[in-house]
Amino acid sequence: MSKSLKIFAPATVANLSCGFDVLGCCLDTVGDEMVISLSSTPGVKITKIVGATLPFETHKNVAGVATEALLKEYGKNIGIEIEIYKKIKAGSGIGSSAASSAGAVWAVNHLLDSPFTPNQLIPFAMEGEKLASGNAHADNVAPALLGGFTLVRSYSPLDVIKLHTPKDLFMTVIHPQIEVKTSDSRSVIKNKVSLQKAIHQWGNVGGLVAGLYTEDYQLIGRSLEDVIIEPLRSILIPEFDTVKTTALKNGALGCGISGSGPSIFALSRGNQNAIVIAEHIKKIYDTTGIDFDIHVSKINNNGVKILNN
Amino acid sequence: MSKSLKIFAPATVANLSCGFDVLGCCLDTVGDEMVISLSSTPGVKITKIVGATLPFETHKNVAGVATEALLKEYGKNIGIEIEIYKKIKAGSGIGSSAASSAGAVWAVNHLLDSPFTPNQLIPFAMEGEKLASGNAHADNVAPALLGGFTLVRSYSPLDVIKLHTPKDLFMTVIHPQIEVKTSDSRSVIKNKVSLQKAIHQWGNVGGLVAGLYTEDYQLIGRSLEDVIIEPLRSILIPEFDTVKTTALKNGALGCGISGSGPSIFALSRGNQNAIVIAEHIKKIYDTTGIDFDIHVSKINNNGVKILNN
Quickly count: other Cβ atoms within 10 Å of residue B59's Cβ: 10
Residue A196: list chain B partners with CB under 8 A: 191
Averaged pLDDT for residues A243-258: 98
Query: Which amino acid, residue A221?
Result: G
CB within 8 Å: A208 and B206: yes
Largest CA distance in chain B: 59
Quickly count: other Cβ atoms within 10 Å of residue A236's Cβ: 17
Per-residue model confidence as pLDDT tens digits over A84-135: 999 999 999 999 999 999 999 999 999 999 999 999 999 999 999 999 988 8
Exposure string for A197-210, b = 16+ CB within 10 A, e = fewer: bbbbbbbbbbbbbb
* Chain B residue with Cα closest to A214: B213
* Chain A residue with Cα closest to B162: A210
CA geometry: angle at B272 spanning B266 and B278, to 5°? 45
SS3 assignment for chain A:
CCCEEEEEEEEEEECCCCCCCCEEEEEEEEEEEEEEEEECCCEEEEEEEECCCCCCCHHHCHHHHHHHHHHHHHCCCCEEEEEEECCCCCCCCCCHHHHHHHHHHHHHHHHCCCCCCHHHHHHHHHHHHHHHHCCCCCCCHHHHHHCCEEEEEEECCEEEEECCCCCCEEEEEEEECCCCCHHHHHHCCCCEEEHHHHHHHHHHHHHHHHHHHHCCHHHHHHHCCCCCCHHHHHHHCCCHHHHHHHHHHCCCCEEEECCCCCCEEEEEECHHHHHHHHHHHHHHHHCCCCCEEEEEEEECCCCCEECCC
State how far the Cα of B143 lies from the Cα of B161, in Å rounded to an integer.
10
CB within 8 Å: B213 and A22: no
Per-residue model confidence as pLDDT tens digits over A262-298: 999 999 999 999 999 999 999 999 999 999 999 999 9
Topology classification of domain B4-163+301-306 = Ribosomal Protein S5; domain 2 (3.30.230)
How close A154 gets to chain B, by Cα (Å)?
A: 6
A209, A220, A224, A226: best to mutate for the B interface, most B CBs within 10 A: A209
How close B294 gets to chain A, by Cα (Å)?
A: 30
In the predicted structure, residue A180 carries a pLDDT above the cut 90: no
Of A22, A194, A213, the CB nearest to B192: A194
Of A163, A189, A210, the CB nearest to B151: A210
pLDDT at residue B2, as a whole number: 55
How close A219 gets to chain B, by Cα (Å)?
A: 9
Of A161, A191, A213, the CB nearest to B194: A191
Q: Please pick, among A33, A127, A129, A239, the residue that the annotation labels catalytic.
A: A129
Q: Which residues 23-52 on chain B approach chain A with CB closer than 8 angstroms?
A: 23
pLDDT band at A18, cuts 50/70/90?
A: very high
* Chain A residue with Cα closest to B220: A153
Q: How high is the mean pLDDT of chain A?
A: 96
The CA–CA distances, whole Å, from A112 to A33, A66, A106, A115, B99 equal: 19, 15, 10, 7, 59
Q: Specify whether A182 is catalytic.
A: yes
Q: Is B157 on the interface with A (CB under 8 A)?
A: no
Q: Is B171 on the interface with A (CB under 8 A)?
A: no
Residue B94 gets which letter from DSSP? S
In the predicted structure, residue A81 carries a pLDDT above the cut 60: yes
Looking at per-residue pLDDT, the higher value among A53 and A182 belongs to A53
Q: Is A156 on the interface with B (CB under 8 A)?
A: no
| Contact yes or no for B147/B300 (Cβ under 8 A) | yes
State how far the Cα of B159 lies from the Cα of A32, in Å rounded to an integer.
40
Per-residue model confidence as pLDDT tens digits over A189-212: 889 999 999 999 999 999 999 999
How close A185 gets to chain B, by Cα (Å)?
A: 15
Residue B159: list chain A partners with CB under 8 A: 207, 222
Q: Specify whether A83 is catalytic.
A: no
Interface A-B, measured as beta-carbon pairs within 8 A, has a size of: 134
pLDDT at residue B309, as a whole number: 62
Q: Which residues of chain B have pLDDT under 50?
A: 1
CATH class belonging to B169-298: alpha beta
**DSSP state string for B243-286:** HHHHHHHTT-SEEEE-TTSS-EEEEEESHHHHHHHHHHHHHHHH
Domain layout of chain B by residue ranges:
4-163+301-306, 169-298
Residue B189: list chain A partners with CB under 8 A: 195
Q: Which residues 200-229 on chain A approach chain B with CB closer than 8 angstroms?
A: 200-210, 213-214, 219, 222-223, 228
Q: Is B6 on the interface with A (CB under 8 A)?
A: no
CB within 8 Å: A195 and B194: no
ipTM of the prediction: 0.96
Residue A228: list chain B partners with CB under 8 A: 195, 198
CB within 8 Å: A198 and B198: yes
